[in-house]
């Protein structure tokens, strides 16, 4: 229980943390310390958490290799440590969630944080004319993407709530709808794309025929009203503006040029590139970033631990699987198109969510096996054993 309380407190502390920190403040140090203690506590408490930790040993190899390459290339040591931090925070969060004795408490805390930030972002908007105002103008934090985590958890917690508690299920559904509105208000193309893909995937997995029919209907509507949708996109999603897109394309092209110079091992942790007169240590593309810093070998090592994670997610109960898979696609797709994979508070939040969900899935499977197990005689005779009274 101590691990769960510590992890939940760390998540609640993110409400007071800056989105773009300038150095290590006492609050940030406290947050990092709480995540570290929760991760260690989860590992010490649970054999399953320690097993999960073993799956991530390839990450250790990838980090050591990229760090060594960076040292050989003379990259800044502090920047190299900053580059390595998100991977450590994700593993600590995953271990804490997987080893927690109260995973629902952690998920409730994360959901509460996302809901609070979503409501605040809507409240601070001077108007709801999305052609000129975005919630990210007055609430920078929502661009991190944790609202997508909140939507996934709202749906998951609703499914885990007994039907008899109709009021709680209704409140969770309403909170999820409010978070969807908050995502739309960000006018983030990456976030809206992730939300759309995740929603379609969840619908398809839940009802394949209905999901396919909905997709075909949506494609037909888009084709028929293509001109109208393009005008709406120009007006609300800045589709006619290429300034942001051009800047991101330039930075991605530059980091890929560095990758082509070092395709096997990459440029190493701590490497920086010059973009529009500024040295940057990241780009708005997860795949390009890893090819740049880790090369082909390191990137391959980083993908290995996700194989068992995907297998565990696909073994989820049928009524939970669509939400879990759809949520993972939603958040993963957004991370590919943004720079939030470097966020010091979002990465451990994702790790805690994944670990806590895996812990709950293990409990659900254990409960199902217990209900399906054959009844045994109090004296130890099974259903196929001879009658001891004969």
pLDDT 10s digits, 95-142: 999 998 889 999 999 999 999 999 999 998 887 766 667 777 788 888
Please give the pLDDT value at position 82: 92
**Tens digits of residue pLDDT in 21-42:** 887 889 999 999 999 999 999 9
Residue 180 has pLDDT above 60, yes or no: yes
Name which residue leads in pLDDT, 219 or 310: 310
Interatomic CA distance for residues 294 and 341, integer angstroms? 15
- At 156 the pLDDT is 93
Domain limits, the chain:
2-13+29-364
**pLDDT higher than 90, residue 211:** no
Alpha-carbon gap, residue 117 to 62, rounded angstroms: 34
208-224 vs 189-206: helix axis angle to the nearest 10? 140
d(CA 384, CA 370): 18
The sign of the dihedral angle between the CA atoms of 42, 340, 123, 166 is: negative
Q: Does the pLDDT of residue 386 top 60, yes or no? A: no
Position 200 scores a pLDDT of 86
3-class SS at 275?
A: strand
Say if residue 58 is exposed, middle or buried (CB neighbours under 10 Å; 0-12, 13-18, 19+): middle
pLDDT of residue 66: 94
- The residue-averaged pLDDT of 60-74 equals 94
Q: What is the pLDDT of residue 388?
A: 40
d(CA 263, CA 105): 44
pLDDT for residue 289 is more than 70: yes
Query: For residue 287, what are its two tokens?
Result: 């795949």
Say yes or no to pLDDT of 263 above 70: yes
| pLDDT tier, 237 (very low <50, low <70, confident <90, very high otherwise) | low
Q: Which of 186-200, 235-249, 272-286, 340-354 has the highest mean pLDDT?
A: 340-354
Supply the pLDDT for residue 204. 83
Please state the rounded mean pLDDT for residues 305-318: 88
Asked if residue 222 has pLDDT above 60, the reply is: no
Whether the pLDDT of residue 245 is over 60: the answer is yes
Exposure string of 263-289, with b = 16+ CB inside 10 Å and e = fewer, is eebbbbbbbbbebeeeeebbbbbbebb
Predicted TM-score (pTM) of the model is 0.86
Between the CA of residue 13 and those of 112, 197, 227, 339, 349, what are the distances in Å?
12, 31, 46, 22, 12
Q: Supply the pLDDT for residue 260.
A: 92
Report the candidate in 178, 179, 188 with the shortest Cα–Cα distance to residue 130: 188
pLDDT of residue 210: 60
Residue 266 and residue 291 in contact, taking contact as beta carbons nearer than 8 Å:
yes
Output the average pLDDT for the chain.
84
Q: What is the pLDDT of residue 243?
A: 54
* pLDDT value at 88 more than 90: yes
Supply 122's token pair.
Answer: 């809507």
**102: which residues sit within 8 A by CB, 6+ positions away?**
1, 4, 5
Spatial neighbors of 65 by CB under 8 A, at least 6 apart, are 265, 294, 297, 298, 301
């Amino acid at each position: 229980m101590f691990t769960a309380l510590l992890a939940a407190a760390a998540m609640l502390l993110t409400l007071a943390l800056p989105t773009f920190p300038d150095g290590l403040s006492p609050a940030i140090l406290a947050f990092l310390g709480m995540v570290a203690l929760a991760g260690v506590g989860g590992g010490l408490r649970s054999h399953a958490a320690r097993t999960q930790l073993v799956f991530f040993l390839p990450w250790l190899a990838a980090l050591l290799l990229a760090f060594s390459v960076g040292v050989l290339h003379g990259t800044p040591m502090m920047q190299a440590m900053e580059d390595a931090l998100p991977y450590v925070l994700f593993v600590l969060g995953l271990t804490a969630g997987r080893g927690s004795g109260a995973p629902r408490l952690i998920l409730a805390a994360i959901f509460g944080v996302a809901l609070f930030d979503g409501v605040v972002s809507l409240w601070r908007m001077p108007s709801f004319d999305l052609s000129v105002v975005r919630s990210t103008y007055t609430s920078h934090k929502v661009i991190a993407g944790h609202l997508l985590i909140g939507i996934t958890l709202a749906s998951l917690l609703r499914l885990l709530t007994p039907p008899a508690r109709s009021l709680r299920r209704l409140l969770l559904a309403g909170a999820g709808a409010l978070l969807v509105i908050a995502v739309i208000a960000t006018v983030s193309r990456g976030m809206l794309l992730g939300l759309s893909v995740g929603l379609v995937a969840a619908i398809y997995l839940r009802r394949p025929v209905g999901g396919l029919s909905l997709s075909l209907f949506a494609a037909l509507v888009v084709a028929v009203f293509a001109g109208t949708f393009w005008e709406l996109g120009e007006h609300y999603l800045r589709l006619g503006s290429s300034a942001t897109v051009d800047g991101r394309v330039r930075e991605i092209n530059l980091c890929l040029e560095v990758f082509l110079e070092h395709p096997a091992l990459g440029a190493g942790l701590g490497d920086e590139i010059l973009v529009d007169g500024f040295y940057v240590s990241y780009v708005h593309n997860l795949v390009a970033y890893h090819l740049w810093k880790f090369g082909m070998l390191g990137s391959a090592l980083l993908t290995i631990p996700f194989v068992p994670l995907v297998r565990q997610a696909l073994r989820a109960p049928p009524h939970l699987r669509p939400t879990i898979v759809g949520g993972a696609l939603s958040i993963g797709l957004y991370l590919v198109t943004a720079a939030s994979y470097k966020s010091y508070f979002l990465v451990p939040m994702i790790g805690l969510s994944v670990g806590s969900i895996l812990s709950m899935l293990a409990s659900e499977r254990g409960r199902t096996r217990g209900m399906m197990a054959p009844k045994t005689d109090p004296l130890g005779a099974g259903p196929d054993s001879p009658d001891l009274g004969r």
